[in-house]
Amino acid sequence: MPNGENPKKTIAVIGGTGKEGGGLALRWAYAGYPIIIGSRSAEKAEQAAAQVNELLGKQAALGMDNPSAARQAELIVVSVPYAAHQDTLNAIKAEVTGKVVVDVTVPIQPPNFSTVHLPEGRTAAEEARALLGEGVRLVSAFQNVSAVHLKDLNHQVNCDVLVTGDDAEAKQEVIALAEAAGMHGIDAGPLVNAIVAESLTPMLVGINRRYKVKSAGIRITDLDGQGHD
């Protein structure tokens, strides 16, 4: 654990060397969470962690191979391309029993980045549940957050985060992580509802293209019942 005295949970970001996971890892490190960046290559993970530490001017992140990262963390975030989803989950499966696992994966089928693709198991989240088993506290979130501005800590990420899962406490933890990263987490119901968030992402990619923008997102309005968002 990077900081033994920190009461915040240590988060492993599997695929934290990439765009989405790297941005989330940086924001959580900035918010004071001990971070472990996971990669298929320990060396690549160490380099990514060193970049986070340099940017923040403190020792906030470590880098490890994926199974070691999952073993040493209390909460695990999986942020890898769908094509690597199954292999990645198999690599960490033995290390995640009893832990909160947050799946960010969207079942996009390149090169059709703006077309909804429902995989054999209906959603990446449900495939993760089938593969990891019921002993894992699985939550699905962050699919609709564009990576584009995540690494700019001065940028207010202007979107909500749909959080789905069947473990109410785990979902609340992830809603708190969305807030820590500067966004608003919304309890969007059970894990089967992840089909909505996973399907929205390719739609947002298409909206980005058509409107010549880079980070279209979503907002749930009227949460205060007063007509304000």
Minimum distance, C-beta of residue 140 to ligand NAP, in the bound complex (Å): 11
Minimum distance, C-beta of residue 8 to ligand NAP, in the bound complex (Å): 23
Cβ count near 84 (within 10 Å): 16
Asked, as a colleague might, if the bond just before 34 is cis with ω within 30 of 0, I would say no
Q: Which residue is nearest to ligand NAP (CB)?
A: 18
Nearer to ligand NAP, 105 or 140 (CB): 105
Nearer to ligand NAP, 56 or 84 (CB): 84
Tokens of 59: 């020792």
Nearer to ligand NAP, 150 or 170 (CB): 150
Minimum distance, C-beta of residue 6 to ligand NAP, in the bound complex (Å): 25
Q: Kindly tell me the sign of the dihedral angle through the C-alpha atoms of 76, 102, 47, 94.
A: positive
Nearer to ligand NAP, 8 or 51 (CB): 51
Nearer to ligand NAP, 10 or 17 (CB): 17
Site residues for ligand NAP per CB under 6 A: 15, 17-21, 39-41, 44, 79-84, 88, 104-106, 108, 143, 145-147, 201
Minimum distance, C-beta of residue 79 to ligand NAP, in the bound complex (Å): 4
Beta strand segments in the chain, E: 11-14, 35-39, 61-65, 75-78, 100-103, 137-140, 160-165, 184-187
Minimum distance, C-beta of residue 211 to ligand NAP, in the bound complex (Å): 16
Sheet holding 11-14, edge to edge: 61-65, 35-39, 11-14, 75-78, 100-103, 137-140, 160-165, 184-187
Amino acid identity of residue 177, one-letter, is L
